[in-house]
Amino acid sequence: MSKRFARGLVVGKFAPLHLGHEWLIRQAQAQCEQLVLLSWARPELADCEPERRARWLRLRFPELRSWVATPEWVAGQRAQGMALADLPQGDEPDAVQRQFVADFCLAVLGQPVDAVFTSEAYGDGFAAHLAQCFGRPVRHVEVDRARTHVPVSGSRLRADIHGLRRYLAAPVYGDFVERIGLLGGESTGKSSLSLALAEALGTRHAAEYGRELWEEQGGVLGYDDLLRIGRTQVAREQALAGQCQRYLVCDTTPLTTLFYCRELFGRAEAELEQLAERRYQHLFLCADDFPFVQDGTRQDETFRRRQNRWYEQELERRGWAFTRLTGSLEQRVEQVLRSLGGT
């Protein structure tokens, strides 16, 4: 059965892309043979950078064609001979905003659209302007203008992203979760601390994949295993982030994997070096200020001290702020909570 429209368009900031946007897009999809998504924001909004918005659209609507326009993107289109005006600022008149969309359809898509879908009062005027530019009718389809289906807005979400996380798909919310990275030599209590912190914060923790693989392979790791560990650790964090509440506690970071790769093999793949550049909003280094415990898998106390010195030197060399944790498990949890602002 053919659909109501051949080509439809949804335009929005998607900052962030929330479930109200997603419902609007799904409603439009159901009525269009082809649906196009266009996003821009000037000025850009914090934590909703173009790269993030483009990724959210790809993740949530991989079957649709979507564009996130920036001044640089417009310049690139012009360099290819496309007739596009400057990307409008948010406070410019409606006619300027609408004209940019019309130019986008004709220059980039190469054809007009038959319908625009909005939940806004401006929708009728928007469709009328496009119709004038195209010389053919353009319908406005209004979808849940009263916001009864998903009662939220982008501005409300930006003001309380964690309190209103129920209005975000997990992959979108995951980008707002703050990563807590734990570092420390062998037998410095990282694993116990990660579990205790996750419980204290009411959130999840990402366990150390390297230890799991080491045990699975009988205490033997090959050179290629280290890159696998780094990739899997990052993928584990990404998979867990959307299930968290504000924070994700990371038992380790790829910096640890880099240390062991260099230690065991004297070298590391460029990709692992790059993974070790992964940033964490909160970094904590567990001090080696209590007796070393040999569980049959660790080296010795001298190695632990050398490992912790390496972490300190690397963090300082990279200019990454970190907090050194000392004392008992309870004291360390308290130090982290204090560093996070008494959460």
As assigned by CATH, the class of the 5-170 domain is alpha beta
Mean pLDDT of 201-228: 94
pLDDT exceeds 80 at position 338: yes
Quickly state the pLDDT bin for 304 (edges 50, 70, 90): confident
Question: What are the boundaries of each domain within the chain?
Answer: 5-170, 178-339
d(CA 303, CA 140): 68
pLDDT exceeds 90 at position 279: yes
pLDDT exceeds 60 at position 62: yes
d(CA 16, CA 130): 26
pLDDT exceeds 60 at position 142: yes
**What are the backbone dihedrals phi and psi of residue 124, each rounded to the nearest 5 degrees, phi first?**
-65, -45
Q: Note the pLDDT of residue 305.
A: 87
Three-state DSSP at 323 gives strand
Q: Note the pLDDT of residue 276.
A: 97
CB atoms within 10 A of CB 33: 13
CATH number of 178-339: 3.40.50.300
Q: Note the pLDDT of residue 178.
A: 97
Average pLDDT, the chain: 93
| Strand-pair category, 115-118 with 139-142 | parallel
102-106, 292-296, 305-309, 321-325: segment of lowest average pLDDT: 292-296
Cα four-point dihedral sign 322, 327, 333, 338: negative
Q: What element of type H or E holds 337? A: helix 329-339
Mean pLDDT of 129-146: 95
Mean pLDDT of 106-118: 96
pLDDT exceeds 60 at position 157: yes
Domains 5-170 and 178-339 share a fold: yes
Quickly state the pLDDT bin for 292 (edges 50, 70, 90): very low
Q: Note the pLDDT of residue 272.
A: 98
- Tell me what percent of the residues of the chain surpass a pLDDT of 90: 85
pTM: 0.90
d(CA 284, CA 277): 16
Summarised one tens digit per residue, pLDDT across range 8-59 is 999 999 999 999 999 999 999 999 999 999 999 999 999 999 999 999 999 9
| CB-CB contact of 204 with 194 (8 Å) | no
